[in-house]
Amino acid sequence: MTATLHLISGLPCAGKTTYAERLQETHDAARFSLDRWLITSYGRYPVDVVGHDEHVRRVYACRELIWAAGAELLRRGADVILDDGFFLRTDRLHYIEAATALGATATTHWIDTAAAEIRHRIAERNQRLGPYNFEIATDALEAYIALFEHPTADEGAEVVVVRD
């Protein structure tokens, strides 16, 4: 049986981690959560305080560490879930191509939650942050919505659309 890389794509508070946890159970897969790695490595920080460029540097540094472990598991035939967000097409393409080069398949799970519901969830979550959650400012969410590129089938992976 071929290993599968599962990319979890969606906006903050769309339900990505909850979905990834369920997927982990049903697929007996290894799950890597970007926010857990970021907060464990750098502490919880406001993006506007460290700056966008520094935040992006931290994201890519953690992704590199996560991929080193994930790629090894894929090579050994285990499914891997990257609970990340994957806003950008180029980032999804990078991991889809890397997984394919290892002989694995890739599936992108797009957690497509309405912006109004996300705004509601963010307001609630910001009131009681979990240990591996970042506070999300309203203006930051609007920037993320503008930045997000919807996954498409021409990226080389099956796209599963999850409407939450």
Is a pLDDT exceeding 90 seen at residue 48?
A: no
Looking at residue 140, the DSSP 8-state letter turns out to be H
Average pLDDT estimate for 86-103 = 98
Q: Does 3.40.50.150 match the CATH number of domain 4-163? A: no
Q: Residue 112 has what pLDDT? A: 98
Average pLDDT estimate for 129-155 = 93
Cβ burial, residue 16 (10 Å; 0-12/13-18/19+): buried
Q: 160 φ, ψ to 5°?
A: -105, 120
Q: 87 φ, ψ to 5°?
A: -65, -35
Residue with tokens 């705004």: 119
pLDDT band of residue 1 (cuts 50, 70, 90) is confident
Q: Residue 162 has what pLDDT? A: 98
In degrees, rounded to 5, the angle at the alpha carbon of residue 91 between the alpha carbons of residues 87 and 93 is: 120
Domain range list for the chain: 4-163
Is a pLDDT exceeding 90 seen at residue 139?
A: no
Distance of CA 153 to the CA centre of its chain: 18
Q: How high is the mean pLDDT of the chain?
A: 96
Please write the tens of the pLDDT for every residue from 51-83.
Answer: 989 999 999 999 999 999 999 999 999 999 999
